[in-house]
Amino acid sequence: MHGARHTLALVTLLVGSAGACAGANSGEGLFGNSIGDGGDATATEGPTAGGSAEGDGGDGGSATSAATDDGTDTDDTEGGEVCNGLDDDGDGIVDDGIPALGCGMGVCMVQVPGCDAGVPAQCFPGSPTDELCNGLDDDCDGTVDDELTRSCDSSCGVGQQACNAGTWGDCDAPPPTAETCNVADDDCNGAVDDGVPGCRVGVHRWWHPTTGEHFYSLDVNEGLCCGFTLEYADYYRLYAAAQPQTVAWYRCYGDNGLHHYTTDANCEGLSVNEGVMGYIGQVALPGSTPLLRSYNPANGDHFFTTSQAEHDNAVDALGFVDEGTVGHVW
Residues lying near Ca ion in the complex (CB under 5 A): 131-132, 134, 136-139, 141, 143, 145-146, 179-180, 182, 184-187, 189, 191, 193-194
Distance between CA atoms of residues 153 and 159, nearest Å = 6
Nearer CB in complex with Ca ion: 223/281: 281
Nearer CB in complex with Ca ion: 66/199: 199
* Shortest distance (Å) from residue 32 CB to Ca ion: 51
* Shortest distance (Å) from residue 156 CB to Ca ion: 10
- The Cβ of residue 270 has, within 10 Å, a number of other Cβ atoms equal to 17
- Give me the amino acid identity at 129: T
* Shortest distance (Å) from residue 326 CB to Ca ion: 24
Nearer CB in complex with Ca ion: 14/110: 110
Nearer CB in complex with Ca ion: 1/178: 178
Residue 148's Cβ-side half-sphere holds a number of Cα atoms within 13 Å equal to: 22
Q: Are 310 and 329 in contact (CB under 8 A)?
A: no
Beta bridge partners of 13: none
Distance between CA atoms of residues 101 and 147, nearest Å = 30
* Shortest distance (Å) from residue 260 CB to Ca ion: 31
Nearer CB in complex with Ca ion: 76/187: 187
Q: How far is CA 146 from the centre of its chain?
A: 14
* Shortest distance (Å) from residue 131 CB to Ca ion: 5
Q: What are phi and psi of 135, to 5 degrees?
A: 80, 10
* Shortest distance (Å) from residue 316 CB to Ca ion: 37
Give the DSSP letter string of 101-128.
Answer: EEE-SGGG-EEE-SEETTEE----PPPP
Nearer CB in complex with Ca ion: 95/187: 187
- Backbone region of residue 274 per phi and psi (left: phi > 0; alpha: psi in -120 to 50; beta: other values): alpha
* Shortest distance (Å) from residue 289 CB to Ca ion: 17
| CA angle centred on 231, ends 181 and 323, rounded to 5° | 75
Nearer CB in complex with Ca ion: 95/186: 186
Quick one: CA dihedral 124, 129, 133, 134, positive or negative?
Answer: negative
* Shortest distance (Å) from residue 202 CB to Ca ion: 18
Nearer CB in complex with Ca ion: 162/184: 184
Q: Are 118 and 98 in contact (CB under 8 A)?
A: no
- Give me the amino acid identity at 182: N
Distance between CA atoms of residues 243 and 235, nearest Å = 20
